[in-house]
Amino acid sequence: MRVREIWNLITLRRRTTSVIQTVDHARAIAKKKIPKAVWDFIDGGAGDEQAIAANRHSLNDVVFQPKYLVDVSKPDTSLTIFGTPVSHPLVLSPSGLATLAHPDGEIAVARAAQGAGAIFCLSTGSGNSIEEVGEQSQGRLWFQLYLWKSQDVISSLIQRAQTSGYEALIVTVDVPVVGKRERDLRNGMSLPVTIRPGQYWHYLSRPRWVSGIVKNPAITFGNLTDIASGDDASSIGQYVNNELNDPSKTWDDLKRIRSQWGGPLLVKGIMHPDDAKTAESIGVDGIIVSNHGGRQFSSVPGIATVFPHIRDAVSDKVEVFFDGGIRRGEDIVKAHALGATAACSGRCWFWGLAANGEQGVTDVLEILNQETKDTLSLVGQRNLRDVGAHNLYRS
Ligand SMILES: Cc1cc2nc3c(=O)[nH]c(=O)nc-3n(C[C@H](O)[C@H](O)[C@H](O)COP(=O)(O)O)c2cc1C
């Protein structure tokens, strides 16, 4: 492998992008295109990374009970979310610093989502700003907020999202402290991106990634350049480290945000039925059942294990989203069978972006949509709305 990489480097051979066939294939292509530290940032999780595996195992344990000789000639993967129609079955979860994976960053992702008719959630920690993404895409956008120490920062980010036309606000609550992502610690992955002597090869062997980064602005948190004390990556990185985590935040902070945001409000990172009930009592419209893709801590259950308990804890007025481990159309249909309003994923689109920019995300979304249609047909359902527990095999 290394010999081939050296040869490619010497001959500056343009590597052709294979046509993406599955999400896992996008992941494999991405791995070859980005430096190891960036790969580990996307792929990795906290601690022993058991939660990443648990997300997959819990989905694998859910199996269908198919029914045949139903007219499934026109499988319909569209959804209704908060009363509005959505034509693609995946919600693109908020995931920061897409500009690390590809210089076109979140703008490319938002455009691909728009083309597919999917909702894209922009992270507070995005490379491109709220305004840039809002201006450069006409698609459906939601904004994700962390519970910053400063109430003024929270208010200003909410105001900016409102002004730029974001339809819904997601408050991520599962980061009272930042998860210990050991791959990132080993790689020295931080802002500004610094390259350690032992890592030169990781970057030299990815010349196209390096040239993309050289041509485009420095990798930074696009939403925070005006907020941090300086607009260089180092000041912003420092700012995020100091200001992001406030372990003293409580449900009162969510109540305050509820009073500030008139549109649909979602809370992301719910893993306990009691928290789901509290969120409903505060008036949230949606709950995202999530363990942050296994990026916060290791010893938590997979989402398919927890999901039914959360769904049962709240009334039908609350829309409940499934976030973690989705890799195939089958997983999307499983999420619906467990009672989800929609399935969400961060890594699926991140890998598509790293594999081939906007086109890579488009490919991933097309694959997931087609796989979802095929699964509906195989299960014997015409649309996602009618999928339910009756489609699952219970031993
Ligand atoms: C590279 C990366 C960055 C992420 N950044 C954020 C973030 O800024 N805010 C947030 O709420 N979740 C973030 N997440 C978590 C995702 O929103 C989502 O919960 C997770 O990706 C779901 O698991 P999956 O990747 O298996 O689909 C991030 C995930 C990844 C992979």
How far apart are alpha carbons 324 and 302 in whole angstroms? 8
Q: Return the beta strands (E) in 11-157 as ranges.
A: 79-81, 84-86, 90-92, 119-122, 140-146
CA of 199 to the centre of ligand 1 (A): 25
Q: Which of ligand 1's atoms lies nearest the C-alpha of 172?
A: 11
> In the chain, where are the structural domains located?
2-391
Q: Which of ligand 1's atoms lies nearest the C-alpha of 346?
A: 21
Q: Return the beta strands (E) in the chain as ranges.
A: 79-81, 84-86, 90-92, 119-122, 140-146, 168-172, 265-270, 286-290, 319-323, 342-345
Q: Whose CA is nearest to atom 27 of ligand 1?
A: 345
pLDDT score, position 4: 59
pLDDT score, position 16: 46
Q: Which residues pair with 383 in a beta bridge?
A: 76
Closest CA relative to residue 274, chosen from 310, 250, 249: 310
Q: Which of ligand 1's atoms lies nearest the C-alpha of 290?
A: 19
How far apart are alpha carbons 91 and 345 in whole angstroms? 7
Q: Find the helix or strand (DSSP H, E) in which 107 lies.
A: helix 105-116
pLDDT score, position 40: 94
Under 8 Å between Cβ of 305 and 54: yes
Query: Which two three-digit tokens encode residue 353?
Result: 């972006």
pLDDT score, position 224: 83
CA of 28 to the centre of ligand 1 (A): 19
Residue among 267, 292, 361 whose CB has most ligand 1 atoms within 8 A, to mutate: 292
Q: Whose CA is nearest to atom 11 of ligand 1?
A: 172
Query: Which two three-digit tokens encode residue 255?
Result: 């109540």
CA of 54 to the centre of ligand 1 (A): 16
How far apart are alpha carbons 335 and 273 in whole angstroms? 17
Q: Which of ligand 1's atoms lies nearest the C-alpha of 344?
A: 27
3-state secondary structure of 316: coil
CA of 324 to the centre of ligand 1 (A): 9
Pairing of β 319-323 and β 342-345: parallel
CA distances to 146, 158, 177, 256, 318 from 151, in Å: 11, 11, 18, 10, 26
Phi-psi category of residue 31: left, alpha or beta, with phi > 0 → left and psi -120 to 50 → alpha: alpha
Closest CA relative to residue 149, chosen from 247, 257, 270, 225: 247
- Residue list, ligand 1 pocket, CB within 6 Å: 41-42, 55, 93-96, 123, 125, 144, 172, 268, 290, 292-293, 295, 323-326, 345-347, 350
pLDDT score, position 14: 46
3-state secondary structure of 47: coil
How far apart are alpha carbons 65 and 37 in whole angstroms? 42
Write out the chain's pLDDT in tens, 395 residues.
566 555 555 544 444 456 899 999 999 999 999 999 999 999 999 999 999 999 999 999 999 999 999 999 999 999 999 999 999 999 999 999 999 999 999 999 999 999 999 999 999 999 999 999 999 999 999 999 999 999 999 999 999 999 999 999 999 999 999 899 999 888 887 766 777 777 887 888 888 888 887 777 667 888 888 777 666 666 677 777 778 778 999 999 999 999 999 999 999 999 999 999 999 999 999 999 999 999 999 999 999 999 999 999 999 999 999 999 999 999 999 999 999 999 999 999 999 999 999 999 999 999 999 999 999 999 999 999 999 999 999 76
Concatenated DSSP letters of 144-158: EEE--S-HHHHHHHH
Q: Which residues pair with 84 in a beta bridge?
A: 81
CA of 296 to the centre of ligand 1 (A): 10
pLDDT score, position 218: 63
Q: Whose CA is nearest to atom 14 of ligand 1?
A: 95
Concatenated DSSP letters of 203-252: HHT-HHHHHHHHHSPPP--TTSTTTSSSSSHHHHHHHHHHHS--TT--HH
CA 272 remoteness from chain centre:
21
Q: Which of ligand 1's atoms lies nearest the C-alpha of 268?
A: 11
The residues that are catalytic are: 292
How far apart are alpha carbons 305 and 58 in whole angstroms? 6
pLDDT score, position 66: 97
Q: What residues contact 166, with CB distance under 8 A and at least 6 apart? A: 122, 130, 134, 141, 142, 143
How far apart are alpha carbons 297 and 75 in whole angstroms? 38
CA of 95 to the centre of ligand 1 (A): 4
CATH code: domain 2-391 is: 3.20.20.70
pLDDT score, position 12: 46
Query: Which two three-digit tokens encode residue 247?
Result: 């372990």
How far apart are alpha carbons 140 and 76 in whole angstroms? 20
CA distances to 41, 195, 221, 234 from 225, in Å: 22, 23, 7, 11
Q: pTM to 2 decimals? A: 0.94
